[in-house]
Amino acid sequence: QELSSANLRRAAVPTSSTSLPAVVRDLAMSTNKGGGGGKKEVKKETKLGMAYKKDDNFGEWYSEVVVNSEMIEYYDISGCYILRPWAMEIWELLKEFFDAEIKKLKLKPYYFPLFVTENVLQKEKDHIEGFAPEVAWVTKSGKSDLEAPIAIRPTSETVMYPYFSKWIRSHRDLPLKCNQWCNVVRWEFSNPTPFIRSREFLWQEGHTVFATKEEADEEVLQILELYRRIYEEFLAVPVSKGRKSEMEKFAGGLYTTSVEAFIPNTGRGIQGATSHCLGQNFAKMFDITFENEKGERSMVWQNSWAYTTRSIGVMVMTHGDDKGLVLPPKVAPIQVIVIPVPFKDADTTGIKGACESAVYTLNQAGIRADLDARENYSPGWKYSQWEMKGVPLRIEIGPKDLANKQVRIVRRDNGTKVDIPSTDLVEQVRVLLDGFQANLLETAKAKRDACIVIISTWDEFIAALNDKKLILAPWCDEEEVEKDVKARTKGELGAAKTLCTPFDQPDLPSGTVCFASGKPAQKWSFWGRSY
Ligand code: 87F
């Protein structure tokens, strides 16, 4: 099993390695070299599993969770991280869902090169200007300088669109619907955080081309709905769909929609994914035109949209607790971990057989179950490790369970235990997993909703901001006013800005004024600090 064999081997030879999961580190430092060991010792070790608490030191807690759960290994280039199977398998499950859905929308898979010439990148210069400091360049091969430096894609508009221009000739070539799964590099300078802000990350980028604005508008929302489903149905993270302000939208596009999540512990909003209508800006820049049915030259309408591995980080922040990660069943690489609990002279072989049979039965039913049969670890030690990795359900089978033809199931989210007859295994596990998934979303939504405050004045706004709230405020929708709010809230924690204008708008009684300018309010918008 990948789980920890390497770490376990390392643990047997205690070193100073700080990259070991805390439980393994503690084990390595304990006097009991055998691992597992006496009951007392195990208890002490499992307690030491997590050094930080979510409510006490959120930043350290987060780093500890992603490392100890074996999702992430830190790398020796700042802002770059190793994604281990526990993270990549989640990414693959999300990808499987999203790919199947966009296939229904007739998206085709592409792969464009990683590199782009300076010349082409500059074509987008109006919009690239703000982003320029983040572009990474290759200037040498071996010891010799390249004839001209080439950039590593921070996004692929400039890589793709010259070829869209070449491929699109007539209305019969439309729509063109392209999606690629790849890595991109943005050399960020503000504090890097695994998944949330890294210098290289994984994403899908969709780029589509239509003959009419109506088709483009429709697709923007279809994709946004898929992003909502990724967050809410898979990651159990509540999000708000909405539209970005003129200041926060992608400057190269016509309008930007997004799904926005909120992290109660830090009081920060976080953009979950974006779906842009690019309008005809890029069509002009890259000369993407077609001959319409009347035989006239016409400019295309374009969209682009993306979600990234950041989504995994948002999920970790939302559900994790002081014991480590908590995974929603729909994305858990292992949904059920089966642990034999042998006792002194009990029928060890019988217990192991019952465990194997439980795993087999669950796997046959399409449930991701696995057996932890490692003999050098005590059951208690295994419990903590699988709790740290966030596995939703743990099944324990001991002598009493064997005799009674039952299994004990323990939930990761609330620790409740139930004994169920082995004959009902699949049915009961299904019910528990579904309940677990629903409970995570409900709990997260209740926590998020408890942070939303509706304000009407500047004083209320500042009070709510200091109180780490997600602020819903009546706004005049003027760019100057958003700039002004940014300037007036600038500080160590970062300025407040609009997160989005939710599509789901509360009533706006006439006469309502903007909280910041006193002018007539045009809409309700979410405001706050953000990632
Ligand atoms: C960083 C460096 C260079 C964001 C950048 O959102 C360029 C850029 O164009 C850049 N950071 N952007 C905007 C990306 C827009 C758009 N691209 C396709 C998306 C979705 C996927």
**Residue of the CA atom closest to atom 12 of ligand 1:** 155
Q: Which atom of ligand 1 lies nearest, measured to the CA of 256? A: 6
CB 426 within 8 A of CB 365: yes
131 lines ligand 1 (CB under 6 A): yes
Does 276 have pLDDT greater than 90?
yes
Does 298 have pLDDT greater than 70?
yes
Among 33-42, 57-66, 302-311, 395-404, the minimum mean pLDDT is found in 33-42
Q: Which CATH architecture has domain 81-319?
A: 2-Layer Sandwich (3.30)
Select the more confidently predicted residue: 33 or 468: 468
pLDDT at site 39: 41
Report d(CA 317, CA 261) in Å as an integer. Answer: 11
How wide is the angle at C-alpha 240 spanned by C-alphas 238 and 241, nearest 5°? 135
Q: Would you list the domain boundaries of the chain?
A: 81-319, 336-434, 451-529
Tell me the average pLDDT across 257-273: 98
For domain 336-434, say whether CATH 3.40.50.720 is its number: no
pLDDT at site 115: 97
Pick from 123, 127, 131 the residue to mutate for probing ligand 1's pocket: most ligand atoms within 8 Å of its CB. Answer: 131
The predicted-structure confidence for 255-264, as pLDDT tens digits, reads as follows: 999 999 999 9
Report d(CA 440, CA 442) in Å as an integer. Answer: 5
Looking from the CA of 401 toward its CB, the CA atoms found within 13 Å total: 29
Tell me the average pLDDT across 210-223: 98
135 lines ligand 1 (CB under 6 A): yes
253 lines ligand 1 (CB under 6 A): no
Does 73 have pLDDT greater than 90?
yes
CATH code at 451-529: 3.30.110.30
151 lines ligand 1 (CB under 6 A): no
**Residue of the CA atom closest to atom 1 of ligand 1:** 131
Q: How confident is the model at residue 487 (pLDDT cuts 50, 70, 90)?
A: very high
Q: How confident is the model at residue 34 (pLDDT cuts 50, 70, 90)?
A: very low
Q: How confident is the model at residue 122 (pLDDT cuts 50, 70, 90)?
A: confident
Q: How confident is the model at residue 337 (pLDDT cuts 50, 70, 90)?
A: very high
Return mean pLDDT, the chain: 92
Q: How confident is the model at residue 342 (pLDDT cuts 50, 70, 90)?
A: very high
Report d(CA 160, CA 306) in Å as an integer. Answer: 15
CB 293 within 8 A of CB 171: yes
The pTM (predicted TM-score) of the whole model is: 0.92
305 lines ligand 1 (CB under 6 A): yes
The predicted-structure confidence for 436-483, as pLDDT tens digits, reads as follows: 999 999 999 999 999 999 999 999 999 999 999 999 999 999 999 999
Q: Residue 111 Cα, ligand 1 centroid: separation in angstroms?
A: 17
Decide whether 81-319 matches 451-529 in CATH topology.
no
Q: Residue 198 Cα, ligand 1 centroid: separation in angstroms?
A: 14
pLDDT at site 513: 98
68 lines ligand 1 (CB under 6 A): no
Q: Residue 155 Cα, ligand 1 centroid: separation in angstroms?
A: 5
Pick from 98, 158, 250, 278 the residue to mutate for probing ligand 1's pocket: most ligand atoms within 8 Å of its CB. Answer: 250
Q: Which atom of ligand 1 lies nearest, measured to the CA of 207? A: 18
426: closest CA among 401, 393, 402, 400?
393
pLDDT at site 38: 40
Tell me the average pLDDT across 38-48: 44
